[in-house]
Amino acid sequence: MEPLTRTQILVVMGVTAIILLIIAKIWQYFGSIALIKIQLSVDGLLYGVALAGIIIVASSIVYRLWPAYRHSADSYLQLVLKPLVWPDLIWLGLLPGLSEELLFRGVMLPALGYDLLAVIVSSLVFGVLHLSGSQQWPYVVWATLVGFALGYSALITDNLLVPIVAHIITNWISSVIWKFSNKSSDVTS
């Protein structure tokens, strides 16, 4: 795949977030789906931060132990992160963290039954959303597992704040770690 420019990445992130939000709102409206509650609480924030920490540590372990995932993740992150400058990482956390959680956990889980099967199905769809090429299947597997963790956290806490916080923090920390690790090859920062 041809490298994208910073502007192209930001536009794709923004357009994707808008499309996901529109799909969520249309599905919610026509399906008469009650959105999972977003309960602002210290517990919700702490659970989200803890889940983000677990995902980041697990990702680091999988990255070191599974060469196919390491190659897949590096390719994906090279494509998405290399053109971005440091302040752009704020959008990389917020846009997917909010729009993907609203659709995949906030609307899709209740629409599919708000149970373990709904978590599995929404996780599979979430994983496939992260497919950027046929060689990216290990990244899709990882995204599916992360989607399961995010979905299960929403299910057991009944609070959409938990996966939102976890998703945003995971994206931020992972992108910062990647940018620092690849600083010498990063000419746009």
Residue 11 lies in a domain: no
Residue 3 lies in a domain: no
Q: Cβ contacts of residue 86 below 8 Å, gap of 6+?
A: 179, 189
Residue with tokens 């992972």: 174
Provide the token pair at 15.
């357009």
Provide the token pair at 85.
């400058």
Number of compact structural domains in the chain: 1
Residue 13 lies in a domain: no
Cα separation, 18 vs 132, whole angstroms: 19
Residue 44 lies in a domain: yes
Q: What is the pLDDT of residue 189?
A: 40
Question: Which pLDDT tens digit goes with each residue over 74-106?
Answer: 888 888 899 999 999 999 999 999 999 999 999
Residue 1 lies in a domain: no
- Assess whether pLDDT exceeds 90 at residue 39: yes
Tell me the average pLDDT of the chain: 92
pTM of the model: 0.91
- Assess whether pLDDT exceeds 80 at residue 1: no
- Assess whether pLDDT exceeds 50 at residue 133: yes
Residue 164 lies in a domain: yes
Residue 29 lies in a domain: no
Q: How many whole angstroms from its chain centre is CA 71?
A: 19
Query: Any idea which of 24-28, 54-58, 130-134 has the lowest mean pLDDT?
Result: 130-134
Long-range contacts of 131-138 (CB under 8 A, 24+ apart): 132/1, 132/76, 132/79, 133/1, 133/75, 135/71, 135/72, 135/75, 136/72, 136/75, 136/76, 137/72, 138/66, 138/68, 138/69, 138/71, 138/72, 138/73
Contact 147, 107 (CB under 8 A): no
Q: Cβ contacts of residue 108 below 8 Å, gap of 6+?
A: 27, 118, 121, 122, 125
Q: How many whole angstroms from its chain centre is CA 168?
A: 7
Compute the C-alpha angle 188/138/50, nearest 5°.
75
Q: Which domain holds residue 79?
A: 38-183
Helix or strand or coil: residue 149?
helix
Residue 147 lies in a domain: yes
